[in-house]
A and B are shown apart, each in its own frame.
Chain A
């Protein structure tokens, strides 16, 4: 539209605006046309804001004409305001950003479709003239009363049609007005009600309208400042929708997905709580079975197990009114049912969608859990509707496009090994076949593929190749093809995928048959064996009783006490010597029983780490999809048991470490791996095992390894180290745990690691564990986490200072020594330092820090325990070391927490309380009070 025309339009419009009153229908209609024209112009010019405002203004005029709003004067004022803003924009060349539009009309139309009732307590809806609003609210009381009267008289009235017409008018007016005033929830419900009335009035509808009236009453009262804002009536909304859906369901296309509205928890909250717990367990189980199904889609036990899980969840959630969960599980159940009846194979999209459903349900359950604790409505997931629709599509046998495709393969026993075992072929033949398989095969050229599948002609290919040679020697052929318009990007992508497939090494079985080493039948048999072996062995389910964790802890405490009491008795008996032979025999028996009891008590809190490992399997699967890297994930020792707290808390650091291994460890380019003589598919191993009284958890990858130079460079830059001289590999690797490294882009780009590693170390240290790194460039990296068996027990060194006993955690002790005079130097006559391994470390007297009399004053007469916290080492003077023992840690309780230098208490074998020192705290304390030391 030429600018001149716009000028004319705006001039006409401003004239109209001055003269038009609410009753001048013709003028209003002209204004409407003009504004629409301005809207079109604004769209052309890319003035989005203006277009929206114009659109809204046109709507407003329409409403004035149709007398849908009561306060037409106000509305007209608003419109003339807008028109002068338009004038400014069009006539004065002001930038669109600088134009001020009335807030009421700024809202985009789509914004109005706010999910209703998101729980916000609105005093006054935004962008609404308070006067209009007030008037509206005030008039509603009588309006609703009339509505109720109409509803009541409906059933015994002779002229039903008139009543219906009146009702409809009321609902319609209400809808219009609430829409203008930004009360989108009222608008939506009235809209639904209106539709329903139109479709014919039933008794059910009348009931619903009563409900609507009741809710409106509450809502308006709340808006008027009387009473509490009622939550959005989801039930009512559903009921009103249901009827509409019957007619709309089939016309609606899949482009618009169902959205779930937030929902208040209802029913017995205890039941909901139980449901949350149960559902979580079911879903966790699902993951295992789905991984089985992924390798063998027809494994009926796993299939049935998943089906049962969904079925149970569906049933209970339906009962509890958890609509979103119910629908997702219902749809998934349908899908699985088809699979059970062998009408559908759970591969590709189908299994992906089930995985997605499990994830979605987990999120939903989590939302319910949150709602339980906060008491707020359940917040629905955003794309549940989409998921449900996807399952629908699958059930109808259609393809889903929104889902990703690649899969992660589960580890299988090697085919060769199986055939060897069953003596089908000799080792020689296998080796021959394997070398053949490994020998690099030239990948099929992309151009050839394109020609073969008739995407481009061979002439076009020649031209492309020429261009590539001439101009852009590095540009991939695919890009050039797309640029020349010979093929779409999608087609190129397909071709690339095909290229990848064909360049994969041929299967061993095929080779064996082709070279005549084995016949096809034998290979097929072995393949079956392979499949059978790779199935997850059936786990026997032992019966379990759920016990409150607090009770369990109490029990463990009491048993600990019993052990101590028993040992006191035993010692007493021992002291009496041979006097009571019978008694000592009985006490011996008691001793045995108590020890067993103690062991059992310890094991009560222990659970296998399996669940955490499963989550990692899932993580690797998702990550490899996301990054496009081919990764095989191997776990070992899932049955290793750890303290429940440890299992819960180890998840986070493991996620970081596994993510790092996938992201930075495994090379992104399979070629790179092949060059280094590694299989193209990356491997990540997750292991758990016992060793030396500790539990070890290892994350290993066969990727690029840590880059020493890059780490040192980064550390120098950040000032963490001063020079790289004398740094052992281990020290260099440990640098990545420094907090500064966590955000370091540089290192990650150079394939070093770093993201979140300080978090890893902190979490693990909080569990009283340690992390170690071993890395070989080009070969891979191993992270080893060492954890104590249980959280409650630590190894401690018992020391004496004067008349007091203290426990120093063995983990923080480096060495204890008896210094000679020449080892100790004073600084400025006060501070003392000890030369230790060529370094000077500060010395502190524990008894002065803790104000204990009658302790040894001189370092030479006592023992110095060299301890470490963070990277700082200090020497502490104690009188003597009494011994080492395992100690059950007890908190000192709320009253005494946070005392500097003290980590907690412990019950010593003699029944007294021992104090466990917090080394980091002591060093801090010593530095603060060093004047006295």
Chain B
């Protein structure tokens, strides 16, 4: 985390307590605030869009609405795998410049909804400049396992897609 982000992007850890939808990417568990999640759908056929960044898988028809779908593995520079029966799309609402944007996020597997209490939350670790952790709000401890709490607004901002696509 850079110096600037420490001052502006620091989350109040206490306010982060609440319900999270957890999902898996590879062998890591992530969590998204439940209020941001609109629905979970199975993988459907995705139309790819030319000249967009590689993590944009394409667009799907969500009951008449066309929404973009991004692949979290590619976004996080993780190794890509074939889609499985468990692969699914979490439809989230993120804040864009002109209001909320609905988009889909492809994850390996959706796990469950968990309640994370204040005392289970730890600040996100810093790995120096080598790993970008700006979109990690905090870490949640659930017994033995650790949940990475994602700031989904930061994971993919509309600006990011646009600026990349116009390259």
A899 pairs with B64, CB closer than 8 A: no
Number of interface residues of B (CB under 8 A): 30
Q: Annotate B52-85 by CB proximity to A: 1 below 8 A, 0 otherwise.
A: 1000101111011111100000000000000000
Count A-side interface residues using an 8 Å CB cutoff: 31
Q: Which 8 pairs across A and B sit closest by C-beta, in order of nearness?
A: A850-B50, A561-B64, A905-B66, A913-B47, A557-B64, A895-B158, A890-B66, A913-B59
In the complex the two chains form, is B52's CB within 8 Å of A892's CB? no
A/B interface sample: 28 pairs, CB < 8 A: A558-B63, A560-B64, A561-B63, A561-B64, A805-B47, A890-B66, A893-B65, A894-B97, A894-B98, A894-B99, A894-B101, A894-B158, A895-B96, A895-B101, A895-B103, A896-B49, A898-B162, A899-B51, A899-B52, A901-B51, A902-B50, A905-B66, A907-B61, A911-B61, A912-B45, A913-B47, A913-B61, A914-B47
Contact assessment for A895 and B161 in the assembled complex, using a CB-CB cutoff below 8 Å? yes
Cβ-based interface call for A399 (8 A): no
**Which chain A positions have C-beta within 8 A of B103?**
893, 895
Beta-carbon contact of B65 and A890 below 8 Å: yes
Docked-complex contact A899 and B49, CB < 8 angstroms: yes
Contact B166 A900 (CB under 8 A): yes
Considering the complex, which residues of chain B in the window 152-167 have a beta carbon less than 8 Å from any beta carbon of chain A? 158, 161-162, 165-166
Within 8 A of A (CB), among B113-167: 158, 161-162, 165-166
- The answer to whether A915 touches B47 (Cβ under 8 A) is yes
In the assembled complex, B102 has its CB within 8 A of some CB on chain A = yes
Say whether B162 contacts A895, CB under 8 Å. Answer: yes
Contact of B165 with A896 in the complex, beta carbons under 8 Å: yes
Q: How near does chain A come to B86, taking the closest CB pair, in angstroms? A: 22
Contact in complex: B61, A898 (CB < 8 Å) = no
**Which residues from chain B contact A804 at a C-beta distance below 8 Å?**
47-48, 50
The minimal Cβ–Cβ distance linking B103 to chain A, given in whole angstroms, is 6
Q: Are B50 and A851 in contact (CB under 8 A)?
A: yes
Report which of B58, B96, B165 forms a contact with A894, defined as CB distance below 8 A.
B96
CB of A852 closer than 8 Å to a CB of B:
yes
B85 to chain A, nearest CB (A): 20
**A891-B66 in contact given A849-B50, A896-B52, A901-B50 (Cβ < 8 Å):** yes
Q: Quick one: closest B residue to A906, CB to CB?
A: B66
Chain A 345-379, CB within 8 Å of chain B: the 1/0 string?
A: 00000000000000000000000000000000000
Q: Does A897 contact B (CB under 8 A)?
A: yes
Cα distance A892–B69 when bound, in Å? 11
Are A893 and B50 closer than 8 Å at their CB atoms?
no
In the complex, chain B residues whose CB is within 8 Å of the CB of A902: 49-50
What residues of chain A lie closer than 8 Å to B59, measured between beta carbons? 892, 896, 905, 913
Cα A896 to Cα B65 in complex, Å, equals: 13
The answer to whether A893 touches B51, judged by C-beta atoms less than 8 angstroms apart, is no
CB distance from A753 to the nearest CB of B (A): 39
If the complex has contacts A849-B50, A901-B50, A913-B47, are A558 and B64 also in contact, measured as CB distance less than 8 A?
yes
- Are A895 and B68 in touch, CB under 8 angstroms? yes
| Chain A 849-877 interface residues, beta-carbon cutoff 8 Å to B | 849-852
Residues of chain B with a CB closer than 8 A to A901's CB: 50-51
Other A-B contacts than A892-B68, A905-B66, 4 sampled, CB-CB below 8 A, are: A560-B64, A852-B50, A893-B68, A894-B101
- Nearest opposing residue in chain B for A852, CB measure: B50
Residue of A558, A893, A912 ringed by the most chain B CB atoms within 10 A = A893
List the A residue with the shortest CB-CB distance to B48: A804
How far does the Cβ of B80 sit from chain A's closest Cβ, in whole Å?
17
Complex Cα spacing A894 to B45, Å: 21
Q: Are B61 and A912 in contact (CB under 8 A)?
A: yes
Most buried by B among A898, A900, A907, A913: A913
Is B101 in contact with A893, judged by CB distance below 8 angstroms? Answer: yes
Chain A residues within an 8 Å CB radius of B47: 804-805, 905, 912-915
Residues of chain B within 8 A (CB-CB) of A895 are 68, 96, 101, 103, 158, 161-162
Query: What residues of chain B lie closer than 8 Å to A898, measured between beta carbons?
Result: 162, 165-166
User: Chain B residues with Cβ under 8 A from A850's Cβ?
Assistant: 50-51
* Residue of A with least CB distance to B167: A900
B68 CB contact (under 8 Å) in A896, A907, A914: A896
Alpha-carbon gap, A805 to B64, bound state (A): 18
Chain B residue numbers with a CB within 8 Å of A557 are 64-65
**In the complex, what distance in Å separates the CA atom of A407 from the CA atom of B121?**
81
Closest residue to A917 on the B side, CB-wise? B50
B interface list, Cβ under 8 A from A: 45, 47-52, 56, 58-61, 63-68, 96-99, 101-103, 158, 161-162, 165-166
Contacts of B56 in A (CB 8 A): 896
* Distance between Cα atoms of A558 and B64 in the complex (Å): 7
Most B CB contacts (10 A, CB to CB) among A892, A893, A895 go to A895
Nearest-neighbour CB distance to chain B for A931, whole angstroms, equals 16
Nearest-Cβ distance from residue B154 to partner chain A, whole angstroms: 14
Chain A residues with Cβ below 8 Å from B162 are 895-898
CA distance A557 to B65 in the complex (A): 8
Q: Are B50 and A913 in contact (CB under 8 A)?
A: no
Knowing A898-B166, A913-B59 touch, does A893 contact B66 (C-beta < 8 A)?
yes
Scan residues 838-854 of chain A and give those whose CB is less than 8 A from a CB of chain B: 849-852
Chain B proximity of A426: nearest CB distance (Å): 66
Q: What's the Cα separation between A890 and B102 when bound, in Å?
A: 14
Rounded to whole angstroms, the CA-CA distance of A856 and B130 in the bound complex is: 43
Which residues does chain B contribute within 8 Å of A560, judged by CB atoms?
A: 64
B102 with A893: CB separation less than 8 A: yes
List, in ascending order, chain A residues with CB within 8 A of B61's CB: 907, 911-913
User: In the complex, which residues of chain A have a beta carbon less than 8 angstroms from the beta carbon of B60?
Assistant: 913
A250 → chain B closest CB, angstroms: 59
Q: Enumerate chain B residues within 8 angstroms of A894, measured Cβ to Cβ.
A: 96-99, 101, 158
Q: Is the CB of A899 within 8 A of B96?
A: no
Kindly list chain A residues whose C-beta atoms are within 8 Å of the C-beta of B165: 896, 898-899
CB distance from A460 to the nearest CB of B (A): 76
Give residues of chain A (518-562) contacting chain B, Cβ–Cβ below 8 Å.
Answer: 557-558, 560-561
Q: State in angstroms the CA–CA spacing of A45 and B161 once bound together.
A: 71
**Residue in A closest to B45 when the chains form the complex, CB atoms:** A912
Q: Give the residues in chain A near B51, CB-CB below 8 Å.
A: 850-851, 899-901, 925
Residues of A near B161 (CB, < 8 A) are: 895-896
How many Å lie between the Cα of A893 and that of B101 in the bound state? 8
In the assembled complex, the CB of A820 is this many whole angstroms from the nearest CB of chain B, namely 29
Bound Cα distance from A307 to B72, whole angstroms:
66
Q: Which residues of B contact A907 (CB under 8 A)?
A: 61, 64, 66
- Chain B residues near A851 (CB, 8 Å)? 50-51
| B139 → chain A closest CB, angstroms | 28
Contacts of A925 in B (CB 8 A): 51
User: Considering the chains assembled together, what is the distance between the CA atoms of A890 and B56 in angstroms?
Assistant: 18
The answer for the CA separation of A805 and B49 in the assembled complex, in Å, is 11
A905 to B52, CA, bound (A): 15
With the chains together, A896 CA to B68 CA distance in Å? 7
Bound-state CA distance A899–B49 (Å) is 9
CB of A314, distance to nearest CB on chain B (Å):
40
**Which residue of chain B is the closest to A891 with respect to CB atoms?**
B66
Q: Which residue of B lies closest to A801 (CB)?
A: B50
Q: How far is the CA of A635 from the CA of B65 in the complex (A)?
A: 40
CA distance in complex: A557, B165 (Å): 28
Q: What residues of A have a CB within 8 angstroms of the CB of B48 in the complex?
A: 804
Which of B47, B67, B101, B158 is most buried by chain A, counting CB atoms within 10 A of its CB? B47
Interface residues of A in 793-847 (CB under 8 A from B): 804-805
CA distance A753 to B68 in the complex (A): 47
Q: How far is it, in angstroms, between the C-alpha of A557 and the C-alpha of B166 when the chains are bound?
A: 29
Of B58, B59, B66, B102, most buried by chain A (CB within 10 Å of CB) is: B66
**Which A residues are in CB contact (< 8 Å) with B96?**
894-895
Chain B min CB distance to A502 (Å): 66
Residue of A nearest to B162 (CB): A898
Complex alpha-carbon distance, A558 and B65, angstroms: 9
How many angstroms between the C-alpha atoms of A69 and B162 in the bound complex?
Answer: 65
- Bound CA span A899–B45, Å: 21
CB B43 to nearest CB in A, in angstroms, measures 13
CA gap between A911 and B66 in the complex, in Å: 11
A915 to B58, CA, bound (A): 10
Nearest neighbor of A803 in chain B, beta-carbon distance: B48
A895 to B105 alpha-carbon distance, docked (Å): 13
